Amino acid sequence: MQLSIAGGIREFGVSAANSVAVIDGERRLRFREVHERSSRLGQDLLAAGLAPGDRVAVLLGNRAEWIEIAAGLAKAGLVMVPLGTRSTAAENAYILEHSEARALIADAPLLGGVTTPPPVVRLIGDGYEEALAGASADDPLVAVSERDPFTIVYTSGTTGRPKGVLISHRSRALTFYCSALEWGLGPGRTSLAVAPMYHGAGFAFGYTPVFAGGTVSMLGAPGPEALLAGLAESRAQSVFLVPTHAHQLRASGLVGDYDLSALDTIYFNAAALPTTLKDWVLEAFPGVGVHELYGSTEGGIVTDCRPAYARTKPGSVGPGWFMTELKLLDDADVEVGVGEPGELCSRSPFLMNGYLKDDAATAAAMTADGFYRSGDIAVRDDDGFVTIVDRKKDMIISGGVNIAPREVEEVVNAFPGVAETAVVGLPDERWGESVTAFVVALPGASPDADEIVAHCRTVLAGPKVPRRVEFLSVLPRNAAGKILKRELRKD
């Protein structure tokens, strides 16, 4: 029996057929419905000419269809390629071309973000239901190896171009089982899907409850009021958040206005959770177990600081997670000792298959013995608890979104009058880091900061647009000519 992310739908579509799998506003989908609808979708796409292994792009907000689409593609042996709802047409075009997607499933209002759709298109709100109704309800039962990819998630890298991370059925099915064990996401339990489902972690923690026989409630509206109302109305016992959500909740002052008595578990990931903010979370949600995770699209969940250590290990992201080996390596790939900084590397069944069409990047990301290089510098204490102290890479994390500085720099550099640019992330109370562009103008030119930002908005997704533009006469460099971004961060 090969692990497949369609497994949970197949199993509970029979054993818990009448239990609610998905809540989306007033809509309720039971497991038998999700099982049937996912089979119909898989059959429809195969009948449209797609073959197992073909890629299918998905462009949706948080809504019920995410679950049936993921399961349906898996049943048909197709590979899911999520697109960001805030991505620009240029960004979507690159992903569609690079992934060689042959089909697109999208919210009808979002189709404007795709300039050249692939051959097969299914629009929710415009023909999607009719396509399902006309397809066979039989499970396609396409044989898929558990090592085969079920999704290609594009994440910004240091090269500036998004890299397609190949994630296998085995990787995420095991993640789902372990998550269900860790956070109680099985039968009789409800979880609220807050983070965007097109994000790697958002999908993993939104899909796990249904895979494990529980219920997921989709949160489609943004903001702290919607989040709190969603928790109260769904009576959710667990929720995955990023630190930005905690900042928003604290700023709103509304936590005490809602009945959150059902909530017993919160788990954080995607960016560092400042100690002062974590202390606020522990006080604002008394009796709720707070987990702080560390992970990545490529490495999956790597560590977990469990509730018992929330106060005794401040700043730590915990020891290695289930089935995960850790190493902290110096620049010579020699393991460092307790308390010494080193690059955090992990080996587990959750690791990616590699980067699509980029063997060189894949090789560079791995050690000779199969550990994934995170690019983050960490220290480990005597108990094996890890604390992230710095980033080896220049990646910016704003609101839980990874942003490659070079991608932003190239856009700013294309603006008339700009000679060169260095982009860094500066501390931001709300977003974790704020994208800041330091610009040197061409001689005699006077580019305008507001116009540069406006230019960026035409090319980049919202989180990548600089929030500040500062002008310098020269950029700080070392003797080799490399820009010293640490000097810019001091400003």
The string of pLDDT tens digits covering residues 440-466 is: 998 899 999 999 999 999 999 999 999
Asked if the model's pLDDT at residue 250 lies above 60, the reply is yes
Give the model confidence (pLDDT) of 10-24 as tens digits: 999 999 999 999 999
CA nearest to 434, candidates 443, 442, 425: 425
Asked if the model's pLDDT at residue 391 lies above 50, the reply is yes
Asked if the model's pLDDT at residue 1 lies above 90, the reply is no
| Residues 162-173, mean pLDDT to the nearest whole number | 96
In this prediction, residue 222 carries a pLDDT of 85
Asked if the model's pLDDT at residue 203 lies above 90, the reply is yes
In this prediction, residue 157 carries a pLDDT of 46
In this prediction, residue 158 carries a pLDDT of 38
Asked if the model's pLDDT at residue 479 lies above 50, the reply is no
| Residues 279-296, mean pLDDT to the nearest whole number | 95
Asked if the model's pLDDT at residue 478 lies above 70, the reply is no
In this prediction, residue 487 carries a pLDDT of 86
The answer to whether 237 touches 264, Cβ cutoff 8 Å, is yes
In this prediction, residue 393 carries a pLDDT of 67
In this prediction, residue 432 carries a pLDDT of 87
Single pTM value for the model: 0.84
Asked if the model's pLDDT at residue 79 lies above 90, the reply is yes
CA 455 to CA 35: how far, in whole Å? 45
In this prediction, residue 19 carries a pLDDT of 98
User: What is the average pLDDT value for the chain, to the nearest integer?
Assistant: 93
| Residues 298-320, mean pLDDT to the nearest whole number | 96
In this prediction, residue 359 carries a pLDDT of 97
The band of 482, judged by pLDDT with boundaries at 50, 70 and 90, is low
CA 301 to CA 299: how far, in whole Å? 6
| Residues 211-236, mean pLDDT to the nearest whole number | 96
| Residues 241-252, mean pLDDT to the nearest whole number | 87
| Residues 111-121, mean pLDDT to the nearest whole number | 95
Asked if the model's pLDDT at residue 29 lies above 50, the reply is yes
Give the model confidence (pLDDT) of 327-356 as tens digits: 999 989 999 999 998 999 999 999 999 999
**Single-letter amino acid code for the residue at 127:** G
Indicate the range of 161-170, 332-341, 399-408, 441-450 predicted with least confidence.
399-408
In order of their start, the domains of the chain are 7-380 (3.40.50.12780), 396-490 (3.30.300.30)
In this prediction, residue 275 carries a pLDDT of 81
The band of 480, judged by pLDDT with boundaries at 50, 70 and 90, is very low
Asked if the model's pLDDT at residue 406 lies above 80, the reply is no
Indicate the range of 41-55, 112-126, 241-255 predicted with least confidence.
241-255
